Every structure is written in structure tokens, then in C-alpha cells.
């Protein structure tokens, strides 16, 4: 665990060191893509760092809109790759479900959750590291409509990339002489929003379960 944290810390420092180059936009795109499939890759961090670099008092290496585009395009491609991976295992999982009741129950539960909560679930999950990977894989496994999936993912990644880049840009402008502090504040705000989303989701789930329990009595 400590070793993994050290690697992520070193990667973050490296990203900050190279963020002043225009080709950092390509790094943002690639990391956002990879993070959709491998949740340990710090895509939010990368986009925030790009936003901070873009805010350099008018002397940034690239405009913040390009940070948003790079993050959104990378995330869109990555989420669709995750969907394709899930879909490629769909038949195998369904065959297993035919033999294993527990697998069948889990598959049915995933399908019902996606059907019930719809595209808003995809938007919420994009702000939850790891959660978005599980959900996009599940959409493929349960054979959700690719058009439906891509449409909602397009909205989700646009909101996600804008939020992360603008956070970095806003804090970077305010603390233009201390971009390390700007990054820390922006990342803290991003983490707080993610925690808030998870808390709201947990409360809503608990209330729904309590309502079901009262009905059953």
C-alpha cells in the first residue's frame, strides 16, 4: 500500500514538472483514457494540474479549454474501451449465470440498477474513482445500448473534465506564485465533492431501503 502511494506521489510530481509543455495535453488524454480501465491512474490529478498550468497569468502553455477537451476526449475513449471489454465477456458471463444462481442474481441486479437510475448514474459514477470503471464494465456486460451509453458518457466526461480543469484554473489564477498550493487546494475541493456525492448516494440508498422495509411490514 505504501509502495503504491509512493509511486502515485512520484507520478504526481512528474506530472507537475512537465505540465508547462504544450504536449502535456497528450499526457492528459492518455491518462484520462487509462484511468477508465485502470482506476489507480490519477486522471483527476492530471486534469487539475493542466488547469493550474493554463492559469499562469496569461503565459500558460495552452488555454484551459484545451485541457477540458483533452480530458474529456481521453475519458470518453477510455469509458467506451471499458464498455467494449465488458461486452466482450458478456456471453461468457451469461453462460456462467445460467449455471450459477449467484452470478445470475448479480447480473440481474446490475442490469436493474442501470435501468432504474439511467444515465444520471453514469454521470455520478464518473466522479467516483473506481466506480466509473465498474459501471462502464457493467454496462457492457449487461449489453446496454451502445448509443445510449455513448450519449450519456459524452455528457458525463464533459462535466467531469470541465469541473476538474476549472478548479485547477481558478485556484491557479488566485495563487499564481504558488502553484503547488493551488494544486493542493484544487485537489482537496475535488476530493470533497467526490465524498459529498458518495454521501448523498449512501443516504438515498438507505432511505430507499427503509421505505422498502416499511412497505414489507
Asked if pLDDT for residue 144 goes beyond 80, the answer is: yes
pLDDT band at 3, cuts 50/70/90? very low
What is the residue-wise DSSP string for the chain? -HHHHHHHHHHHHHHHHHTTSTTHHHHHHHHHHHHTTSTTS-HHHHHHHHHHHHTSTT--SS-HHHHHHHHHHHHHHHHHHHHHHHHHTHHHHHHHHHH-HHHHHHHHHHHHHHHHHHHHHHHHHTTSTTHHHHHHHHHHHTT--HHHHHHHHHHHHHHHHHHHHHHHHHHHHHTTT-HHHHHHHHHHHHHHHHHHHHHHHHHHHHHHHHHHHHHH-
Residue ranges per domain, the chain?
Answer: 2-216
Q: How confident is the model at residue 4 (pLDDT cuts 50, 70, 90)?
A: very low
* Residue 24, pLDDT above cutoff 70: yes
Amino acid at each position: 500500500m505504501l509502495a503504491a502511494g509512493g509511486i502515485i506521489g512520484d507520478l504526481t510530481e512528474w506530472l507537475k514538472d512537465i505540465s508547462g509543455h504544450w504536449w502535456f495535453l497528450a499526457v492528459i488524454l492518455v491518462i484520462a483514457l487509462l484511468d477508465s480501465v485502470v482506476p489507480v491512474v490519477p486522471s483527476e490529478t492530471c486534469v487539475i494540474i493542466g488547469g493550474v498550468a493554463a492559469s499562469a497569468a496569461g503565459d500558460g502553455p495552452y488555454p484551459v479549454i484545451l485541457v477540458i477537451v483533452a480530458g474529456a476526449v481521453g475519458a470518453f475513449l477510455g469509458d467506451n474501451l471499458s464498455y467494449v471489454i465488458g461486452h466482450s465477456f458478456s456471453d461468457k458471463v451469461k453462460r456462467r449465470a445460467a449455471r450459477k444462481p449467484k452470478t445470475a442474481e448479480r447480473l440481474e441486479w446490475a442490469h436493474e440498477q442501470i435501468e432504474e437510475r439511467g444515465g444520471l448514474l453514469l454521470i455520478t459514477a464518473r466522479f467516483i474513482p473506481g466506480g466509473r470503471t465498474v459501471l462502464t464494465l457493467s454496462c457492457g456486460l449487461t449489453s446496454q445500448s451502445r448509443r445510449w451509453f455513448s450519449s450519456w458518457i459524452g455528457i458525463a466526461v464533459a462535466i467531469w473534465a470541465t469541473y476538474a480543469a476549472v478548479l485547477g484554473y481558478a485556484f491557479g489564477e488566485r495563487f499564481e506564485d504558488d502553484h503547488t498550493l493551488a494544486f493542493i487546494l484544487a485537489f482537496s475541493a475535488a476530493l470533497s465533492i467526490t465524498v459529498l456525492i458518495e454521501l448523498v448516494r449512501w443516504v438515498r440508498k438507505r432511505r430507499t431501503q427503509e421505505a422498502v422495509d416499511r412497505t414489507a411490514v
